[in-house]
Amino acid sequence: MPSTFTFLGTGTSAGIPIIACDCPVCQSDDPRDQRTRASALITYTDTSNTTRNIFIDTSPDLRQQVLRHDLQTLDAIVYTHYHADHVFGLDDVRRFNAVMDRPIDIYAERSMLDWLHQTFNYIFDPHKNTNRSFIAQLTPNEVHEFQPFELFGKPWLPVRLMHGRLPILGFRIDNLAYCTDCSSLDPQTYTALENLDTLIIDALRYRHHPTHLTVDQALNIIDHLQPKKAYLTHIAHDISHADLEAKLPTTVHIAYDGLQIPLT
C-alpha cells in the first residue's frame, strides 16, 4: 500500500455548512464546499509490512470521517492542540480498541496530555467511574518541539506554530508537513520545513483573523518555503472552493474532505 495523507476534515471550527447560515458557500452544491472539522489520516506500512493508520487530531466529526473511509484499524493519534474542533471525537476511538483488542498510543505535548487527562477523566481515571462503561483505552506519550519521535519506522518532527498567542504543534513526516491552526511560524520552523515536497497550511479566509492565517499570508509563507506543492486547509465559509482554486498558483490547491495525496 502506498504511503498516503488523507484530508479527513478541512473545515474551520464551525464546519461548513455552518448551522443556520444561508450564504452561497453554505448553500453550495459543490461537495468540496462541505467541510467537516479539521483532522487528517496518515497511512503507511511499517518494517514488517503491516499497514499503520495514524490520526492527526480527533475532530468532533471523527465517526462520520471514519465511516466515509471505511477504516478498520487505528494505530496512533498525534495531537496539534486542545481546541474543541480538534479533540472532541476522541470518545469514538473506543470502537477501534474493541475491534483491535488493544490500547491506542497518543502523542502530544505535556500541556495537551494534562488537558486531555482533565477533560476526559473518565478515560484516564477509569477506576473512579461509578459505573463500568465502554471507554477508550489510550496510552499517553509526551513529545517535544523540534525533537523527532519514531512512529512505526518513520520519524515525525514536531514543529512550533503560533495560533494567536497559543503555541501549538505542526508535524513534518518525510517531505510532507501539516501546519493547521496557525497565525505565524516559529523562526526555527522555517528551517525545519526547508525542501518540502508538500506543505499543508491553514488559510482560514481572506480577511484578517487574530489566530489564523489569511489566504494571502499562507501564500507568502508558501512563497518563502518553496515546497513543490501546497494545500490550504481549515477553511471558513467565506471561501468558495471553485472560486479560490481558480485563482491560486498552479502548485497551490485548496484541500477538500476526502482528498488523498502521496506522503512524500
Note the residues at the interface with Zn ion (CB under 5 A): 18, 21, 23, 26, 83, 85, 181, 237
Instruction: Please report which helix (H) or strand (E) contains residue 62, including its range.
Output: helix 62-69
DSSP state of 131: S
Residue whose CB is less far from Zn ion, 23 or 99: 23
Q: What distance in Å separates the CA atoms of residue 177 and residue 139, rounded to the nearest whole number?
A: 25
DSSP state of 112: H
Residue whose CB is less far from Zn ion, 37 or 172: 37
Residue whose CB is less far from Zn ion, 174 or 203: 203
Least distance (Å) between residue 152 CB and Zn ion: 26
Least distance (Å) between residue 193 CB and Zn ion: 19
Residue whose CB is less far from Zn ion, 127 or 165: 165
Least distance (Å) between residue 204 CB and Zn ion: 9
Least distance (Å) between residue 10 CB and Zn ion: 11
Burial 95-126 (b: 16+ CB within 10 A, else e): ebbeeeeeebebbbbeebbebbeeebeebbee
Instruction: Please report which helix (H) or strand (E) contains residue 170, including its range.
Output: strand 166-173
